[in-house]
Amino acid sequence: MEEKFLIIANWKSNSPLNWSVSVPENIEVAIAPPFPLLATIKGYSLCAQDVSQFGPGAYTGEVSAKVLAGLGVKYCLVGHSERRKNFGETNAQIQQKISQLLENKIMPIICAQNLEELPKNIEGCSIMYEPAEAISVNGQYNPESPEKIKTALSFFPKDVKLLYGGSVNSDDILAIKPLVTGVVVGHASLDPQMFTQIATKCS
């Protein structure tokens, strides 16, 4: 069976109300909500936005991969550029997070702007290429040209699934889709109508 194109709705620290979309049969939609909302999402795959680098234990404020697995989480972003920039996340921490996720059978999606941001061992992971300057700012899209995306992706490993993120919206999705196995959608995922347009165009 052909694998479904994956669209991850990265809500970041937003909580859109009454979010519901109908998902075309050949598309997989995963929602990446703030942690407390993971347990409330029904009918879509679940993606966490982050995970603790440690296992369960005395780590106040952390969410372990085991807890995520118990909630049925299938994917987890690691090393998003917003975490690297705002929380000083390092490749060493990212490698630990990946180990935690793999032990708990959750697919790590490593977010990287370049090859230097990839940890040494990426076996069993997917990669999301996302240039930080392409991330939308206050609802303004800053899309990267599909040609540049294609060139950048050509340097990434070929033996893992590659996704793209950065201002993905209903206008540019058709040009991006052929380049990757999935996309991560931030701002445009907050509006279910806009997200539905993206999913429909991908189907």
Residues identified as active-site: 80, 130
Decide if residue 110 touches ligand PGA (CB under 6 A).
no
Confirm or reject binding of residue 135 to ligand PGA (CB under 6 A): yes
Beta carbon of residue 68, minimum distance to ligand PGA (angstroms, whole number): 18
14-22, 86-94, 156-164, 178-186 -> range binding ligand PGA (CB under 6 A): 178-186
Per CB under 6 A, the segment of 56-64, 85-93, 154-162, 165-173 that binds ligand PGA is 165-173
Q: Which is nearer to ligand PGA, 119 or 166 (CB)?
A: 166
| Cβ atoms of residues 199 and 27 within 8 Å | yes
* Six token digits for residue 93: 């921490």
Among 165, 180, 195, 199, which residue interacts with ligand PGA (rule: CB under 6 A)? 165
Angle at Cα 114 formed by Cα 169 and Cα 107, nearest 5°?
70
- The single residue among 106, 184, 199, 202 that binds ligand PGA, judged by CB under 6 A, is 184
- Indicate the residue among 127 and 135 with the shorter CB distance to ligand PGA: 135
Interaction mask 10-29, ligand PGA, x per CB under 6 A: x-------------------
**Can you tell me which of 76, 168, 176, 202 binds ligand PGA, judged by CB under 6 A?**
168
Total site size for ligand PGA, rule CB under 6 A: 13
